[in-house]
Chains A and B, each alone.
Chain A
Amino acid sequence: MLMLLFFCYCAVVIIGTGLLAVTLRNPVHSVLMVLILFFHMAMLYLSLGAEFLAAVQVIVYAGAILVLYLFVLFLVSLKEELRMPRFVSSAWLGRLIAGGLAACLLYILPVFSTGARGNWPAERVREITPTRALATEMYSASVLPFEIAGLILLVAVIGGLLLARREKDSSNTNG
């Protein structure tokens, strides 16, 4: 019962802050709403026993990615609102597409079923702690996808370096 209440609280806050994040006028306020959203997502993970995921959610998303968003917002300092041409010409068409997407999601919902499945049922994960379970799975069975993801990130880092690197100006010889 308590867990259900907790879930309802988190769900309401996540939906509410999600809506506020897209409707608030001040971009910094929007980012703060997303911060609260991320925290409640971490709380949902915690209530499911995924403690490592919850901590990583806070460290990576709240602690790093959102801070970078804030950094960008501060540096560009939007004094006036940006007016973009509409992506979908009519508002009702947009509402129809959004409604259709929601219907699709609701249609898929019954596929989710609870209960033990696969190599890692909840009891076994709890026994050796989620952190260890995740690490064991990631560095043994899924080591190839893990390495591929690492390589993709490396490519992104090198791309970032290439963009940020300034060629030494040849005309400026005193430097």
Chain B
Amino acid sequence: MHVLVLLLQILVLFAVVMLHVAYATYFERKIIGHMQVRMGPMRVGWHGLLQPIADGIKSFFKEDIIPEQADRPIFLAAPIICLVAMLTSLAVLPFAPGWVLADINIGLIFILAMSSLSSYGVILAGWASNSKYTFLGGLRSMAQVISYEIAMGLSLVGVMMLSGTLNLSKIVEAQGTSFGGMYIFPQIIAFFVFCVAMLAETNRVPFDLPEAETELVSGYATEYSGMRYAMFFMAEYIGMIVMSAIGTICFLGGWNGPFTVPGVPFFWFVLKIYLFLFVFIWIRATLPRYRYDQLMELGWKLLIPLALANIALTGIVKAIIG
């Protein structure tokens, strides 16, 4: 019985997240459209509301082309690795008090582990396609993810030190219900580092070098088509949602808000995630792409030292106060 309930919960979470992924693409196209003074999708349904559904059905029925010289098993598995790794991280996210599939003690590093796994999908896709564009995209992604994962992990260490736990629910509880309790105030440096590393980890503009439509014709995904291409897309958007959730949990107080909304315990959590997603899209509409050496310089010479300094600072302040 317990297993059945858990399965049902997983199914509901999966369905809700997939709907969010579908409409995140709509949200993105609409926002970027309006920021660039055009309408965005308008044809399918009222103001293009059914566009994501149409896109989904279209990609489902498209031919799944496999290049002749590709490494077949790895080529087929790569998008699945990406998607599964991202979906697995959803299991440890607490959406509201008690609303979590697996309330494990090491939630925070579990998510870091899964995000490092999903980079395999991108790398292997780049290698297995046997094409120069995808290979360059894969190499870039590999270097970028390794570099920025260090910065991201180090930026979260400050949060771990303040809350004294790796359990995501307990991190939210440690911040209390007051406005000033949010870790964004004592950990403002870490929040900055986290936000930049978050963009790089999810391969979003201004760090979208692995895709880089203008130079690599969408990088590691060049040879993919149909459903498998859509899987990379889904993984990217789920990654954005997961990273937004981590930012919400670690810095913005999770499900706590100025007042409780009766019947919707996850109201503030979801609202904060939408805020993060909006910022993701806003940045995409605003900033140009970084050059590769600038990207590496920013990661290694600015973000990592900043994050290390933040750890030392947090430790000193904690030793003096506590």
**Residues of A at under 8 Å CB distance from B?**
26, 28-29, 32, 35, 51-52, 55-56, 58-59, 62-64, 67-68, 70-71, 74, 129-131
| CB-contacts of B85-142 with A (<8 A) | 104-106, 109-110, 112-113, 116-117, 119-120, 123-124, 127, 135, 138-139, 142
Q: Which of the listed residues A29, A32, A55, A71 has the most CB atoms from chain B within 10 Å of its own CB?
A: A55
Neighbour of B112 across the interface among A29, A32, A59, A129, CB < 8 A: A59
B124: chain A residues at CB < 8 Å are 28, 32
Chain B binding surface, main DSSP class: helix
Q: Is there an interface contact between A67 and B142, defined as CB atoms closer than 8 Å?
A: yes
Q: Is there an interface contact between B135 and A74, defined as CB atoms closer than 8 Å?
A: yes
A56: chain B residues at CB < 8 Å are 109
Neighbour of A59 across the interface among B109, B123, B138, CB < 8 A: B109
Q: Is B208 an interface residue (CB 8 A)?
A: no
Q: Whole-angstrom distance between the alpha carbons of A59 and B112 in the complex?
A: 7
Shortest C-beta distance, B99 to chain A (Å), equals 22
Q: Is there an interface contact between B116 and A131, defined as CB atoms closer than 8 Å?
A: no
Q: Is there an interface contact between B123 and A131, defined as CB atoms closer than 8 Å?
A: no
Q: Is there an interface contact between B123 and A62, defined as CB atoms closer than 8 Å?
A: no
B74: chain A residues at CB < 8 Å are 28-29, 32
Could you list 16 further interchain pairs (A-B, Cβ under 8 angstroms) beyond the known A59-B116, A63-B149? A52-B106, A55-B112, A55-B113, A59-B153, A62-B113, A64-B149, A67-B116, A67-B119, A67-B123, A67-B142, A70-B123, A71-B139, A71-B143, A74-B127, A74-B138, A131-B105
Q: Is B166 an interface residue (CB 8 A)?
A: yes
Q: Is B188 an interface residue (CB 8 A)?
A: no
Q: Is there an interface contact between B106 and A64, defined as CB atoms closer than 8 Å?
A: no
Q: Whole-angstrom distance between the alpha carbons of A70 and B120 in the complex?
A: 10
Q: Is there an interface contact between B127 and A58, defined as CB atoms closer than 8 Å?
A: no
A32: chain B residues at CB < 8 Å are 74, 124
**Residues of B at under 8 Å CB distance from A?**
71, 74, 104-106, 109-110, 112-113, 116-117, 119-120, 123-124, 127, 135, 138-139, 142-143, 145-146, 149, 153, 166
B120: chain A residues at CB < 8 Å are 35, 62, 67
Q: Whole-angstrom distance between the alpha carbons of A32 and B109 in the complex?
A: 22
Given A32-B74, A67-B146, A131-B166, also A58-B106 (CB < 8 A): no
Q: In the complex, which residue of chain A has the Cβ closest to the Cβ of B115?
A: A63
Q: Whole-angstrom distance between the alpha carbons of A67 and B123 in the complex?
A: 9
Q: Whole-angstrom distance between the alpha carbons of A52 and B127 in the complex?
A: 32
Q: Is there an interface contact between A63 and B139, defined as CB atoms closer than 8 Å?
A: no
Q: Whole-angstrom distance between the alpha carbons of A70 and B119 in the complex?
A: 12
Q: Whole-angstrom distance between the alpha carbons of A67 and B144 in the complex?
A: 12
Q: Whole-angstrom distance between the alpha carbons of A156 and B50 in the complex?
A: 56
Given A59-B112, A63-B117, A67-B146, also A28-B106 (CB < 8 A): no
Q: Is there an interface contact between A62 and B106, defined as CB atoms closer than 8 Å?
A: no
Query: Can you show 7 pairs from A to B with CB atoms below 8 A apart?
Result: A28-B74, A59-B116, A62-B113, A63-B113, A63-B149, A74-B135, A74-B138
